[in-house]
Amino acid sequence: MKYFSHTVLFSCLVLLSSCGGENENFDAEGNFEATEVIVSSEASGKILKFDIQEGQVLKTGQITATVDSLQLFLQRNQLIANIGNAQSRRPDIKVQIAAAEEQLSAAKIEQARVERLFKDGIDTQKQLDDINAQVELYQKQLIAQKISLESENRGISDEILALNNQVKQLDDQLQKCNVVSPINGTVLVKYAQAGELASTGKALFKIADLDNMFLRAYITGSQLTKIKIGQSLKVFTDFGTGANREYAGTVAWISGKSEFTPKSVLTRDERENLVYAVKIAVKNDGYLKIGMYGRIKFKE
């Protein structure tokens, strides 16, 4: 019995020693995460099409769902018709003032004739004054008509501009009826199905970039001087076979302030109460998963 207890004690010491030695080989540890995006609907209506599946890989801009847009389409058609009606009411200034210009031209010809006759002593001063007044009146009438027609044209142009802006708004709303993937990534969770009602802001699915992962780890204050943005590191993962898979990592982010050591985090120096979070960018070869455990080692 005494021999057995000594054997067990020796085995535990060896195990603890080996674990401690293994931890000493790494500078920090943490879990893998990815850039996750929850994609929501920007339109309200019935979901007509939503064929994506969880685990499906999507490309940026790929249409993932379609929301009913019939009412918006009909509103757009009505606006286009209103623009056409406004265009038809636009006056043709040249045609509208043609008669007034012809009248003024005839009056000027008569004015020139009366001036010649007045010089020859045939026509009187009153006849000259009358024709001059008439020419001035026609000129004022022509200017007033031009101003009125131009004002009417500007009003119609403003009306058409407002209608075109409404068309653009509807075009934007119609475009938002097609829900697209914002990033290249893999669908993690699907929150809705075709046939359900979508509303503005309702989450439809969650997508993550699993090709470019991050290992979130924590380092002590003494290690902070050994690491910088852009630095290359070695990242290791344990797949349960006892052998670590090694990846090339790059420091992508270092927290600007310290925090108390999370309970789930182990550090090389357990006496350190404050640690700094860091993110190590790692290219995924397909084996890395969100939440998987990983360790880093500073390159010598």
pLDDT digits (tens, 9 = 90+) for 171-221: 999 999 999 999 999 999 999 999 999 999 999 999 999 999 999 999 988
Mean confidence (pLDDT) of the chain: 87
pLDDT for the residue 156: 96
Under 8 Å between Cβ of 236 and 246: yes
CA distance 24 to 247: 19
The residue written with tokens 């005839």 in the block is: 106
Q: Do 47 and 164 contact (CB within 8 A), yes or no?
A: no
Helix axes 125-176, 98-119, angle to 10 degrees: 160
Quickly state the pLDDT bin for 239 (edges 50, 70, 90): confident
What pLDDT does residue 210 have?
A: 96
Among the listed ranges 22-31, 35-44, 46-55, 65-74, which one has the minimum average pLDDT value?
22-31
d(CA 280, CA 213): 8
- In the chain, the percentage of residues whose pLDDT exceeds 90 is 75
- Looking at residue 116, its pLDDT comes to 92
Q: Tell me what pLDDT residue 57 has.
A: 96
- Whether residue 224 has pLDDT greater than 70: yes
More confident residue, 180 or 7: 180
pLDDT in the model for residue 8: 36
Residue 258 · residue 221 · CB < 8 Å: yes
| CA–CA gap between residue 204 and residue 178 (Å, rounded) | 12
